[in-house]
Structure 1
């Protein structure tokens, strides 16, 4: 079998592939697309960094290709939909840069605390000015970590070695999973109120965009310091600028920005801001590690073994019966639905299968957990690793099977248990198409696609008109609506399909209305 390696992937990390009998490794620089098309048909696997584009056109000539390896994390240069359609596995190396990113974050925190870049610049400009650079110690300070994944956990360990107190916010980590670490799990508001330094290690999603905004800064200590080496856009740069100018924030260290590349920003004009051009993972060691990681994944794939860092999953073929396919779509959508309903730390996901289900309920459970975790984790989640990732975060997964329930030949109910509350969603198939048929005990009939508003409210006249008016005034078109109640005069639930995602400010306007109990925007 032949493996093509492009884009200057570190050769030191490819030794296992090079030494494997039966594997021929061709290592070359980045080549133009026409040259790649001319040779790609010879190869069973290809490894790239970010320069080479493996698109639909290239894959149409890749008749033998079984796996594409990305030596790094991002896969924007690979057409995932086409790879999946062709049954080509795509793998990457999300953990190879953990140490580099961790060490860089610690370096940025130290540089920020001690004004090292500013002192360096001033001395090189011929000024010996000790008094201008009074810093602060990290010892005994409180570090707030937003996102306790691989990098966040590694930073906590190193911060504790410097005798910092560590608090963390991550709604998908259970308290029992950090008992032995001396990390205190808190809610976001408490983290903001207590932290002297705040560092971010969460993916950028709809829910984390501008997570640190003007309101968040108002809850922080005076003199707080912000470090962001994760993703641009999680910190509202305008709100950060205002906090730095006012003295609310004593400083910031930024390796990432909302728009990149960036060479001009009001933040660059402030002396209490340390910046760098997204180089947190740029070390020789990290490049070797990601090469080795992806080489291991390529080798496992070519040997027919399971791999852990798959970005996609091949089209279902002979191993799953055709009747299972629509249920896979249903449960993944149910998981995505539930991930947007939760508001606190998740402890348990319980799946109940009712009816004459197949033996592959484990596969359905993996698909459901994938749907739940995919929108909220930095790691790539797939059918293979979903259950493992959930368990790593202290989330208990339970599944049960019972006989047929009244009214449904097959019914799936998912209950998510959070700190102090729980939520449920039920789904089934109608004429082979996925439907959501229950939410928190309310009977509904909704197609899990597009954009849904879930609005529990007091059961009284005028509520439907109230919500419809707010949406209409904001030029948001309703494509479908239903209202369900358990008993008259108690509470009801509206489920509204809309053409576009409803902006946060409109959701807030609805939520503030009298007798509205909550508002959730569900995007599929």
Structure 2
């Protein structure tokens, strides 16, 4: 008999599979104190939570029988993933259940924003009948810009087209061919901003997307455009949005999420052009039941020895295999992360090549780590070494793995190649005895770089003085160079310069470097 503890409020219909299972004892108690929770989890095989219960290291260490943690929803910020992995506890979530509810809420906010519905209702409640004050705009023939074209973004596009809107979308995984198939226009982020009459964001929140819509972004938009955020607080820079609405640059905004919640006294709420709801995107009866049902089935499946659909943390690997592969985990992930930050365009194909002493082992876990390193640039911690393959597949990315006897003089070699709709780039790395991971080739250029810390990658023409000009400019910004590697194909031809520096490079410095003679591209990254 398996014991499952549910410590947050969940839909009763959603957990019915657990309640009706003959081999499961389900304990539902959403009002446990911390001390009570520590006692209850001690004999539980599984715990299911939403966002209220904090599944800490302390809690996990008090649960010797715990095998699975279920999160009825997408985010796992309230779960200590590292502690769960260390103790062999699988974490699963339910990322699909709120897709429809969030898409529908976005459309409701879009229409309310266009027609000033909340403001007009508020005036009626004040016994005022002011029709002329609330003249709205039609959606027909307007352009909806969608930033983030995953499950929710696609559902929003489908509904917007039903309102006869023009839809233009940007997503780092979206190619023109995929956009055509979805019946929307494909654009760069700048093009989407410039064309949008209404702009809606549907990206995860991570370093790459925090304040993605900021003062500079808003300046690219049409005067009189409107902005929506039913995704994550922090994607939009709220101070910049406040200023833009106040000045009239942005005609209005509809917000379901804020950077800090609850947002009771937020300055944006003082503006009559802004409408808002208290994070209701997933708050439908159907969505709550759907995530509860999904997580119930996954928890039961794992307890019974089956395969789960949405694992979040590391899968198990045999001790023997782990001993051989573990030194390469970091190398594979760092190579993927490095290459993802220098490649341009929407990802279409990833190929990982192995040679040398990796020929006779199952390198699938290493490929997972490489994909994880690549995709985390775009979708953050939502991708991990368990769901990496499925996430890539969902994004339409083809994954290949090949082995070769050619080691180019190294005992072992891992090479990753990324094909996008714009270019093909590659990176190679190895493990050196006593020295650890090294990047030994970027595209066709031989280098020797430790994939760690703050790096500057400069593509330039091989000409005298290039290194000196770069060094002088960095000195002006008090950026100290730790190491420098230069690789070239031939004298006077294409070359690459990779520097490790002591601190993160400011954007102004990067722009000035890019403006130096004979330099074609400058990319700054942190590994």
TM category, shorter: over 0.9
Q: CA deviation at 1:13?
A: 0.9
Secondary structure at 1:519 match in 2:
strand
1:176-187 alignment, distance < 5 Å: 176-187=177-188
Q: Secondary structure at the match of 1:13?
A: coil
User: 2:325 is matched with which residue?
Assistant: 324
In structure 2, the CA distance between the partners of 1:225 and 1:30, relative to structure 1 (3 Å rule), is: same
Report the Cα offset of residue 6 of structure 1: 0.4
TM-score when normalising by structure 2: 0.93
CA–CA distance in structure 2, aligned partners of residues 499 and 291 of structure 1 = 47
* 1:445 aligns to 2:470 (yes or no): no
For residues 360 and 479 of structure 2, what CA distance do their matches in structure 1 show? 41
1:261, distance to aligned residue in structure 2 (A):
3.0
Per-residue CA deviations over 1:362-387 (Å, capped at 9, x if unaligned) read 33222211221123126822334322
| Alpha-carbon distance between aligned partners in 1 of 2:50 and 2:241, rounded to the nearest angstrom | 33
1:457 to 456, 460, 473: 460
1:239–1:54: structure 2 CA closer, same or farther, 3 Å change rule?
Answer: closer
Give the Cα–Cα distance (whole angstroms) in 2 for the partners of residues 304 and 334 of structure 1: 34
Output one character per residue of 1:429-487: Cα deviation in whole Å (capped at 9) or x when no partner.
11273221111221112222222221222333443343334444434443333222222
| 2:23 counterpart residue number | 22
Equivalent residues of 1:169, 1:186 under 8 A apart: yes
CA distance in 1, matches of 2:62, 2:217: 51
Moved more, 67-76 or 481-490: 481-490
**Structure 1 residue 392 corresponds to structure 2 residue 394:** yes
In structure 2, distance between residues paired with 1:475 and 1:484: 25
8 Å CA contact 2:315–2:385 kept in 1: the answer is no
Matches for 1:2-401 after TM superposition, within 5 Å: 2-314=3-315, 316-318=317-319, 320-356=321-357, 357-377=359-379, 380-401=382-403
SS of residue paired to 2:511? helix
| Cα pair distance change 1:315/1:519, threshold 3 Å | farther
The 3 A distance-change label for structure 1 pair 338 and 30 is farther
CA distance in structure 2 between the partners assigned to 1:338 and 1:365 by the alignment: 14
Task: Supply the distance in 1 between the matched residues of 2:3 and 2:320 (Cα, whole angstroms).
Answer: 27
Conserved in 2, the CA contact under 8 Å of 1:404 and 1:410? no
State the shift of 1:178 in Å: 4.2
In the alignment, structure 1 residue 411 sits paired with structure 2 residue 413 = yes
Q: Establish whether residue 491 from structure 1 lines up as the match of residue 524 from structure 2.
A: no
My pick for the range that moved more, 450-459 or 221-230, is 450-459
- Aligned in 2, Cα 1:147/1:463: closer, same or farther, shift over 3 Å? same
Cα deviation per residue 1:410-434 (whole Å; 9 max; x = unaligned)? 2121111122222111111112732
**Residues 1:492 and 1:105: Cα distance change in structure 2 (over 3 Å):** same
- Structure 1 pair 474–231 and aligned structure 2 pair: CA distance change class (3 A): farther
C-alpha distance in 1, partners of 2:384/2:240?
Answer: 36
Residues 360-369 or 149-158, more deviating: 360-369
- Write the deviation string for residues 105-160 of structure 1: whole angstroms up to 9, x where unpaired: 11110111000111011111111000100001112211111111011011111111
User: 8 Å contact 1:86–1:315 — kept in the other structure?
Assistant: no
| Cα RMSD after superposing both structures | 2.1
Structure 1, residues 252-293: CA drift from partner, whole Å, max 9, x if none? 111222333333344333221112232222223222221111
In 2: Cα distance, 1:53 partner to 1:92 partner: 15
- 2:315, 2:386 within 8 Å by CA — same for their partners in 1? no
**SS of the residue 2:520 aligns to:** coil
Contact kept in structure 2, 1:88 and 1:314, CA below 8 Å? no
> What does the per-residue CA deviation read over 1:286-330, in whole Å, with 9 as the maximum and x for residues that have no partner?
222211111122112112222232221146443734111222222
Q: Which moved more, 1:3-12 or 1:121-130?
A: 3-12
Deviates most, 88-97 or 279-288: 279-288
Deviation at 1:334, TM superposition (A): 1.5
Q: What is the distance in 2 between the residues matched to 1:434 and 1:304? A: 36
CA distance in 2, matches of 1:216, 1:467: 29
Unpaired runs of at least 5, structure 2: none
CA offsets, 1:33-72, max 9 Å, x none? 2222223221111111222222122222211111111112
For residue 371 of structure 1, give the secondary structure of its aligned residue in structure 2: helix
Q: Which runs of 5 or more structure 1 residues have no equivalent in the other structure? A: none
Deviations 1:229-262 (A, max 9, x none): 1122222233323332333322111122233333
